[in-house]
């Protein structure tokens, strides 16, 4: 069973139809929407500040979501896929975003809707990622603008696939 841990008087609140792998960890001031999945070795650590996660979000194997004490919270919208070994730290991720494997999203960054962050990208602190774009590199830069229709199918397909995968384990 996943580790669900209260800290500083906060107990995680988990929505309906969520899958938590046996070795996933959810701690503290965390509120999670419906149809989310937290895969093997993923950690959502709301011990030092709040973390809010929308609906249809998948946090893949080894990903870490955290924030900074008295400084930054983490907000994640709907239909967000957080790839394997991603770190999201004190950032805002809007709806319909795909964050590729191994990317790092630093404090006070904001990722706009309908956006793709390439695998291995480093989004530096205070970076505003334009909605409808692809960012990649170290540090990440805008690669190109994309129409919402160009990414809608892929972003929704991945989010929906993870809902399906979760059912295999439940």
DSSP 130: P
Q: Give the domain range for residue 131.
A: 3-169
Count of domains in the chain? 1
Residue 71: give its domain's CATH number. 2.160.10.10
| This prediction's pTM | 0.96
**pLDDT per residue as tens, the chain (170 positions):** 899 999 999 999 999 999 999 999 999 999 999 999 999 999 999 999 999 999 999 999 999 999 999 999 999 999 999 999 999 999 999 999 999 999 999 999 999 999 999 999 999 999 999 999 999 999 999 999 988 787 888 898 999 999 999 999 98
Instruction: Please check whether residue 58 is in contact with residue 39, taking contact to mean a CB–CB distance below 8 angstroms.
Output: yes
| CA-based nearest residue to 69, from 7, 119, 11 | 7
């Amino acid at each position: 069973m996943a580790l669900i841990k209260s800290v500083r008087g906060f107990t995680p609140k988990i929505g309906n139809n969520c899958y938590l792998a046996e070795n996933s960890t959810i701690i503290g001031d965390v509120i999670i929407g419906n149809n989310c999945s937290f895969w093997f070795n993923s950690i959502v650590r709301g011990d030092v500040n709040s973390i809010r996660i929308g609906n249809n979000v998948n946090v893949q194997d080894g990903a870490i979501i955290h924030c900074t004490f008295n400084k930054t919270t983490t907000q994640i919208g709907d239909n967000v896929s957080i790839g394997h070994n991603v770190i999201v730290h004190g950032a805002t991720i809007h709806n319909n975003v795909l964050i590729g494997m191994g990317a790092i999203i630093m404090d006070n960054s904001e990722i706009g809707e309908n956006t793709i962050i390439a695998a291995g990208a480093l989004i530096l602190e205070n970076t505003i990622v334009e909605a409808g774009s692809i960012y990649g590199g170290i540090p990440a830069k805008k690669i190109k603008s994309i129409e919402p229709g160009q990414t809608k199918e892929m972003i929704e397909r991945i989010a929906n696939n993870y809902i399906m995968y979760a059912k295999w384990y439940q």
